[in-house]
């Protein structure tokens, strides 16, 4: 599939009434921050997502690399359908939770912790079935982190190394956001709708690869090559696009509302 760039991608249309809306979290709904806990959730985001969920008949899910617990905490009191840890965990629209049995991550955790002990600025995030080694505060250590984590998974085909924004993550093989979106699309209220997915990172490309062949809309947030044919420049632009979508979906049907329309 050809890749788009910031210069040839288009602005996305607002999701229509028949959309199934999938939203990445960090870098898409919220701006990136120095550490995972330092993000700021705009106060109006939670009611906006809640309105959109209702207007789309429940077909709105967060698809994130974070644990679902963390997403719930940041979006409280809202609890949306969600895929967490790139699909290791998934909560469907009825609240049912599916979670892969976590692999043995102790040897990986030991390597990551030892690296963080030796080098200032590295941060280890332990999740249910994955481990993230963050180097945003020490970007010069990218190669050191990559080499150590790659060596740590050698001979463990059940584990896979992902590279995100200033982070290397070890997670179970064969799990990704695209598969999580496909799973949602087999279930009510998502099934039969047009998938729309917005994300900012390389880890979102698997989701773009799923929605576009289904006639859906893939939106890359920010710069960088992407499979996505549509683009929004920042989480702020995503927010404004979502506000526009909410207002259009909530507007009374123009045809019925117009006084000049025939009865």
Q: Stretches 3-11, 89-97, 150-158, 163-171: which one binds ligand L263DTV3 (CB under 6 A)?
A: 163-171
Question: With contact defined as beta carbons under 8 Å apart, do 71 and 62 qualify?
Answer: yes
For ligand L263DTV3, the closer of residues 34 and 250 by Cβ is: 34
Q: How far is the CB of 123 from ligand L263DTV3 (least distance, A)?
A: 8
Residue 51 sits in the site that holds ligand L263DTV3 (CB under 6 A): no
Q: Select the residue whose beta carbon is closest to ligand L263DTV3 and give its number.
A: 65
Within 59-88, the residues that bind ligand L263DTV3 by CB under 6 A are 64-66
CA dist 15 and 74 (Å) reads 24
Q: What is the DSSP string of 164-207?
A: ETTEEEEEETT--HHHHHHHHTTSTTTTTSEEEEEE-SGGGHHH
Burial of 187 (0-12, 13-18, 19+ CB in 10 A): middle
Binding pattern for the stretch 186-225 against ligand L263DTV3, x by CB under 6 A and - elsewhere: ---------------x-x----------------------
Residue 15 φ/ψ, nearest 5 degrees:
-60, 135
CA dist 29 and 39 (Å) reads 10
Residue 33 sits in the site that holds ligand L263DTV3 (CB under 6 A): yes
Q: Stretches 31-39, 93-101, 220-228, 248-256: which one binds ligand L263DTV3 (CB under 6 A)?
A: 31-39
Q: Identify whether 200 is a catalytic site residue.
A: no
CA dist 72 and 78 (Å) reads 7
Question: With contact defined as beta carbons under 8 Å apart, do 169 and 132 qualify?
Answer: yes
Binding pattern for the stretch 95-134 against ligand L263DTV3, x by CB under 6 A and - elsewhere: ------------------------------x------x-x
One of 18, 24, 54, 147 is an active-site residue; which one? 24
Burial of 257 (0-12, 13-18, 19+ CB in 10 A): exposed
For ligand L263DTV3, the closer of residues 27 and 216 by Cβ is: 27
Q: How far is the CB of 147 from ligand L263DTV3 (least distance, A)?
A: 19
Backbone conformation region of residue 209, classed left if phi is above 0, alpha if psi is from -120 to 50, else beta: alpha
Q: Stretches 158-166, 183-191, 236-244, 249-257: which one binds ligand L263DTV3 (CB under 6 A)?
A: 158-166
Q: Stretches 29-37, 144-152, 207-215, 219-227: which one binds ligand L263DTV3 (CB under 6 A)?
A: 29-37
Count the neighbouring beta carbons within 10 Å of the beta carbon of residue 74: 21
Question: With contact defined as beta carbons under 8 Å apart, do 181 and 211 qualify?
Answer: yes
Query: For ligand L263DTV3, which residue of 6, 8, 35, 244 counts as binding (CB under 6 A)?
Result: 35
In the complex, the residues that contact ligand L263DTV3 under the rule CB under 6 A are: 24-27, 32-36, 39, 64-66, 125, 132, 134, 136, 164-167, 169, 201, 203
**What positions carry a catalytic annotation?**
24
């Amino acid at each position: 599939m050809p890749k788009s760039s910031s210069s040839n991608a288009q602005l996305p249309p607002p999701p229509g009434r028949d959309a199934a809306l999938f939203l990445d979290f960090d870098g898409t709904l919220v701006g990136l921050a120095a550490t995972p806990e330092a993000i700021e959730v705009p106060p109006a985001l939670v009611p906006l997502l809640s309105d959109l969920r209702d207007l789309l008949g429940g077909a709105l899910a967060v698809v994130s690399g974070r644990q679902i617990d963390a997403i719930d905490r940041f979006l409280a009191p809202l609890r949306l359908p969600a895929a967490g840890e790139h699909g290791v965990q998934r909560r469907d629209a009825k609240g049912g939770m599916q979670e892969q049995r976590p692999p043995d991550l102790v040897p990986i955790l030991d390597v990551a912790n030892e690296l963080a002990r030796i080098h200032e600025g590295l941060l280890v995030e332990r999740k249910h079935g994955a481990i993230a080694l963050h180097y945003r505060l020490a970007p010069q250590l990218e190669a050191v982190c990559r080499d150590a984590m790659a060596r740590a998974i050698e001979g463990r085909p059940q584990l896979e190394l992902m590279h995100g924004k200033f982070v290397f993550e070890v997670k179970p093989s064969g799990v990704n956001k695209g598969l999580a979106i496909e799973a949602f699309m087999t279930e009510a209220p998502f099934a039969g709708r047009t998938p729309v997915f917005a994300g900012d990172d390389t880890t979102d490309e698997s989701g773009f690869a799923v929605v576009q062949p289904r006639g859906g809309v893939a939106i890359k947030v920010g710069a960088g090559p992407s499979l996505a044919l549509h683009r929004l420049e920042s989480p702020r632009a995503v927010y404004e696009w979502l506000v526009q979508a909410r207002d259009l979906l909530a507007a009374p049907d123009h045809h019925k509302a117009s006084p000049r329309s025939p009865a």
